[in-house]
């Protein structure tokens, strides 16, 4: 590893610190060269929560990302960002936790944009806590929008000139969303020719770079049965199909629009065989996330496409209800770190 990878703390009241600690304990070949952007006391508490008394997991306070590269396996380097008088109460909504989570993301993203870290893996934050944190953090619905704004500001571009999309991926299915964290009413309004075509372009470029070839893109319709030629809505006829035609004319391999209740099954990789498509474009948040999460939240990874940095994240939330119990599954966090390494061309340490 030539550069370290940053893992942000997430909401200190949720399971983020616990799954980070479990990742360092259980998958040292994946976490070697990584460090946590966060709070030392919170990480020490998380280690106590998951401790079985079998494997020691010391915390090392570091002052620069480069120090993480020389840390031994199962040592957890933490770069302190901000300060908490004491760890926040576990499982409770807190403006303080929301503010710290946001500050960690800002620090890691800016370090990545400066070229100091190879990638950013974000532990879950709580959107209500982020809203309570106050300006400027409260203006972002989630990680994706925050990272988009930080990247645009770094490159001195208007936000519209830094379009991004959310891709959810596991071993069986990849889904990219046309819209992200907006109401369903607003999501329907976001199904425009420009937004659909822009989504296809971002997938073609970003996923194509990941796969090393032109991706096969399947597009879900918005309406039941993909509108049945206009009987159940005209978005497929007037908006989605023309965007697909324009994408094909630009050399993209795109098919659809297909009935939303079957297209995900057609794309699913199963029994060692690849699906019909490399990725499915979903028209709104839940249309795409339900099939991915049904296949297993513990396997899912969130990837932000279109950013000038590598960012992955576990495909689940803060889970306040089980925070502090030690029951949180770190599989999705480990998968997110592993995928970030792959996207950076970094082998795992064996």
Handedness of CA 90, 22, 308, 79 (dihedral sign): positive
pLDDT of amino acid 344? 85
pLDDT of amino acid 181? 85
Q: Which domains does the chain have, with CATH numbers?
A: 1-159+304-350 (3.40.718.10), 171-295 (3.40.718.10)
pLDDT of amino acid 300? 86
**Which residues in the chain land under pLDDT 70?**
1, 52-55, 85, 297, 347-350
pLDDT of amino acid 2? 87
pLDDT of amino acid 348? 66
Q: How many other β-carbons are positioned within 10 Å of the β-carbon of residue 145? A: 17
Single pTM value for the model? 0.89
pLDDT of amino acid 350? 52
């Amino acid at each position: 590893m030539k550069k370290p990878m940053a893992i942000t703390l997430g909401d200190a009241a949720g399971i983020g610190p616990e799954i980070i600690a479990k990742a360092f304990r259980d998958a040292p070949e994946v976490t070697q060269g990584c460090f946590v952007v966060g709070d030392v006391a919170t990480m020490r508490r998380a280690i106590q929560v998951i401790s079985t008394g079998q494997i020691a997991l010391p915390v090392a306070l570091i002052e620069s990302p480069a120090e993480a590269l020389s840390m031994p396996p199962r040592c957890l380097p933490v770069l302190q960002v901000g300060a908490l008088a004491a760890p926040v109460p576990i499982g409770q909504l807190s403006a303080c936790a929301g503010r710290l989570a946001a500050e960690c993301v800002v620090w890691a993203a800016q370090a990545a944009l400066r070229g100091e870290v190879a990638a950013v893996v974000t532990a879950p934050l709580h959107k209500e806590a982020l809203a309570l944190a106050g300006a400027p953090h409260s203006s972002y619905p989630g990680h994706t929008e925050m990272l988009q704004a930080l990247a645009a500001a770094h490159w001195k571009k208007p936000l519209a000139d830094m379009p991004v999309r959310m891709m959810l991926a596991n071993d069986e299915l990849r889904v990219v969303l046309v819209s992200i964290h907006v109401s369903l009413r607003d999501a329907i309004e976001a199904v425009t020719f420009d937004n659909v075509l822009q989504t296809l372009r971002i997938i073609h470029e970003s996923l194509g770079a990941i796969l090393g070839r032109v991706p096969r893109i399947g597009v879900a319709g918005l309406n039941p049965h993909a509108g049945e030629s206009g009987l159940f809505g005209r978005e497929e006829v007037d908006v989605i199909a023309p965007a697909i035609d324009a994408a094909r004319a630009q050399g993209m391999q795109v098919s659809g629009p297909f009935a939303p209740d079957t297209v995900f099954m057609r794309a699913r990789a199963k029994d060692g065989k690849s699906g019909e498509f490399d990725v499915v474009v979903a028209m709104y948040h839940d249309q795409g996330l339900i099939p991915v999460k049904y296949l297993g939240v513990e396997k899912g990874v969130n990837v932000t496409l279109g950013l000038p940095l590598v960012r992955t994240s576990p495909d689940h939330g803060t889970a306040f209800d089980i925070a502090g119990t030690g029951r949180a599954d770190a599989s999705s966090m480990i998968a997110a770190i592993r995928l970030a390494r792959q996207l950076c061309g970094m082998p795992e340490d064996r």
